[in-house]
Structure 1
Amino acid sequence: MKTDTGPADVGLVTDRADAPGPGRPALDLGPLFAPRSIALIGASATAGSYSSRSLTNLRRTGYSGSIFPVNPRYTEIDGLPCYPTVGQIGQAVDAAMILVRSELVHDAVRDCVAAGVKVITVCSAGFAEEGAAGHDRQRELVELARAGGSRLVGPNCIGAASVVDRVVACATLNITETFTPGSISIVSQSGGMAVNLFNRAQGRGVGIRGFVSVGNEADLDVAQLVEALADDEQTRVIALFIEELRDVPAFRAAVSKAHRQGKPVLVLKAGRSEAGARSSLSHTGALAGSHALFSSVMTQLGVLEVDSVDTLIDTADLLARVDPPASNRLLIVSPSGGECSYAADRASELGLRVPALSETTVEALSQGMRFGAPSNPFDLTGQVIGNAEFLRDVLGELERADEFDLVLYAIPTWSAHDAERLLPGFIAAAEASTKPTVISAWTATDLTERSEQVLAAGSAAHFGSVDAALSALAHLARWAEMHRTLGFGGADPEADPEADLEARTDRSAPAPRPTGLPELPTEHQAKSFLREHGLDTPREVLVSDRDTTADAAAGIGWPLVAKQLCEGVVHKSDLGLVRVGVRDQTDLDRALDEFDGIVTENGLVPEGLLLSELHRGLEVILGGVRDPQFGPMVMIGAGGILAELLDDTVFRSCPLGASDAEAALDELSVGRLLRGYRAVEYDRPALVDLIVRFSELFAGADWLDQADLNPVLVAESPHQGAVIVDAALVLTPPSKE
Structure 2
Amino acid sequence: MLAHANLLSLHDVDQHRLAPLLAPRSIALVGASRRRNTVGNDMVRNIIASGYDGAVYPVNPGYATLYGFRCYAGLTALPEPVDLAILSVPNRVLENVVDEAIAAGARALVIFASAELEGERDDLLRDRIAHKAREAGVPLCGANCMGFFNLSHPVRAFSAFHADPLTAGGLTCIAQSGSLLQALLFNDERLKFNLAVSAGQELVTTAADFMDYALDQPETRCVALVLEAIRDPRTFVAALEKANRRGIPVIVLKLGRTEAGAQFALSHTGAIAGNAEVYEALFRRYGVISVRDLNELAQTAILLSTIRKPLRPGGLAAILDSGGERELIVDVASDLNVPFAQISAATTQVLAENLDLGLSPVNPVDAWGTGKDFEAIFENCLTALMADPDTGIGMFVADLAEELDLHDAYIDICQSVARTSDKPLVLMTNYSAWSHRKHALRLSREGVAVLDGTTTALRAVRHAMDYRDFAARAPIQQDEHCENPRAAHWRALLASRTSALSEDEGYALLSDYGIRVPAYRIVNSRQEAIIAASEIGFPLVAKTAMPGILHKSDVGGVMLGIADADAAGRAYDDLSARLGPRVLLTEMARGQAEMAFGLVSDAQFGSFAMIAFGGIWIEILKDSQLAMAPVDRAVAARRIASLKMSDVLNGVRGAPPCDTAALIDAYVNLGALARDLGAQIAELDINPVLVGEDGVIAVDSLIVPAPAVEAQHVH
- Give the structure-1-normalised TM-score: 0.85
Q: Structure 2: how far apart are the matches of 1:504 and 1:162?
A: 46
Residue 70 of structure 1 is matched in structure 2 by 59
From 92, 95, 99, the equivalent of 1:106 is 95
Residue 361 of structure 2 is matched in structure 1 by 374
Q: After superposition, what is the alpha-carbon deviation per residue over 1:627-684, rounded to whole angstroms, capped at 9, x for unaligned?
A: 2222222212223223222242122332333344334334324556557777834333
From 497, 502, 510, the equivalent of 1:522 is 502
From 700, 710, 714, the equivalent of 1:726 is 700
TM-aligned CA distance change 1:430 to 1:348, over 3 Å: farther
From 688, 707, 710, the equivalent of 2:664 is 688
Stretch moving more, 508-517 or 553-562: 508-517
The structural deviation recorded for 1:189 is 1.8
Q: Structure 2: how far apart are the matches of 1:654 and 1:456?
A: 41
AA of the residue aligned to 2:46: N
Q: Does 1:482 align with 2:470?
A: yes
Identity of aligned residues (%): 29
Residue 9 of structure 2 is matched in structure 1 by none
From 166, 183, 196, the equivalent of 1:211 is 196
AA of the residue aligned to 1:519: S
The structural deviation recorded for 1:451 is 5.8
AA of the residue aligned to 1:332: A
Residue 115 of structure 2 is matched in structure 1 by 126
TM-aligned CA distance change 1:128 to 1:628, over 3 Å: farther
From 540, 544, 547, the equivalent of 2:524 is 544
AA of the residue aligned to 2:200: G
TM-aligned CA distance change 1:163 to 1:654, over 3 Å: same
The structural deviation recorded for 1:532 is 4.7
The structural deviation recorded for 1:37 is 2.5
AA of the residue aligned to 1:643: I
Residue 191 of structure 1 is matched in structure 2 by 178
TM-aligned CA distance change 1:317 to 1:148, over 3 Å: same
Q: Structure 1: how far apart are the matches of 2:441 and 2:597?
A: 54
The structural deviation recorded for 1:545 is 4.5
Residue 492 of structure 2 is matched in structure 1 by 513
Q: After superposition, what is the alpha-carbon deviation per residue over 1:514-563, rounded to whole angstroms, capped at 9, x for unaligned?
A: 28755123323322343355542110123334454433322221222233
Q: Gapped runs of 5+ residues in structure 2?
A: 1-13
Retained in 1: the 8 A contact 2:431–2:454? no
Residue 541 of structure 2 is matched in structure 1 by 561
Residue 333 of structure 1 is matched in structure 2 by 319
* Cα RMSD for the two superposed structures: 3.3
Q: Structure 2: how far apart are the matches of 1:539 and 1:60?
A: 76
AA of the residue aligned to 1:44: S
SS in 2 for 1:616: coil
Residue 620 of structure 1 is matched in structure 2 by 595
AA of the residue aligned to 2:312: A
The structural deviation recorded for 1:594 is 7.8
Residue 21 of structure 1 is matched in structure 2 by none
Q: After superposition, what is the alpha-carbon deviation per residue over 1:22-78, rounded to whole angstroms, capped at 9, x for unaligned?
A: xxx984454334333321112233221233221122234443433211123433333
Residue 13 of structure 1 is matched in structure 2 by none
The structural deviation recorded for 1:275 is 5.1
TM-aligned CA distance change 1:131 to 1:283, over 3 Å: farther
TM-aligned CA distance change 1:660 to 1:643, over 3 Å: same
AA of the residue aligned to 2:385: L
TM-aligned CA distance change 1:397 to 1:529, over 3 Å: closer
TM-aligned CA distance change 1:634 to 1:278, over 3 Å: farther
Residue 17 of structure 1 is matched in structure 2 by none
The structural deviation recorded for 1:192 is 2.5
TM-aligned CA distance change 1:413 to 1:124, over 3 Å: closer
AA of the residue aligned to 2:523: V
AA of the residue aligned to 1:528: A
SS in 1 for 2:196: strand
From 680, 691, 707, the equivalent of 1:703 is 680
AA of the residue aligned to 1:628: A
Residue 608 of structure 1 is matched in structure 2 by 582
Q: Does 1:50 align with 2:50?
A: no
The structural deviation recorded for 1:577 is 3.7
The structural deviation recorded for 1:179 is 1.3
Retained in 2: the 8 A contact 1:519–1:732? no
AA of the residue aligned to 1:686: A
TM-aligned CA distance change 1:217 to 1:448, over 3 Å: closer
Q: Does 1:251 align with 2:230?
A: no
Q: Structure 1: how far apart are the matches of 2:629 and 2:117?
A: 31
TM-aligned CA distance change 1:274 to 1:504, over 3 Å: farther
Residue 420 of structure 1 is matched in structure 2 by 408
TM-aligned CA distance change 1:626 to 1:459, over 3 Å: closer
The structural deviation recorded for 1:735 is 9.7
Retained in 1: the 8 A contact 2:527–2:569? no
Retained in 1: the 8 A contact 2:267–2:683? yes
Q: Structure 2: how far apart are the matches of 1:158 and 1:317?
A: 23
TM-aligned CA distance change 1:449 to 1:581, over 3 Å: same
Q: Does 1:436 align with 2:413?
A: no
Retained in 2: the 8 A contact 1:407–1:438? yes
SS in 1 for 2:473: helix
The structural deviation recorded for 1:237 is 0.7
TM-aligned CA distance change 1:421 to 1:663, over 3 Å: closer
SS in 2 for 1:621: strand
Q: Gapped runs of 5+ residues in structure 1?
A: 1-24, 488-496
The structural deviation recorded for 1:424 is 1.6
SS in 2 for 1:373: coil
The structural deviation recorded for 1:366 is 1.4
Q: After superposition, what is the alpha-carbon deviation per residue over 1:373-404, rounded to whole angstroms, capped at 9, x for unaligned?
A: 20122121324565212222222222221122
TM-aligned CA distance change 1:224 to 1:307, over 3 Å: same
AA of the residue aligned to 2:339: R
The structural deviation recorded for 1:298 is 1.1
From 630, 643, 646, the equivalent of 2:618 is 643
Residue 34 of structure 1 is matched in structure 2 by 23
TM-aligned CA distance change 1:333 to 1:680, over 3 Å: farther
Q: Does 1:260 align with 2:248?
A: no
TM-aligned CA distance change 1:92 to 1:733, over 3 Å: closer
Residue 80 of structure 2 is matched in structure 1 by 91
SS in 2 for 1:157: coil
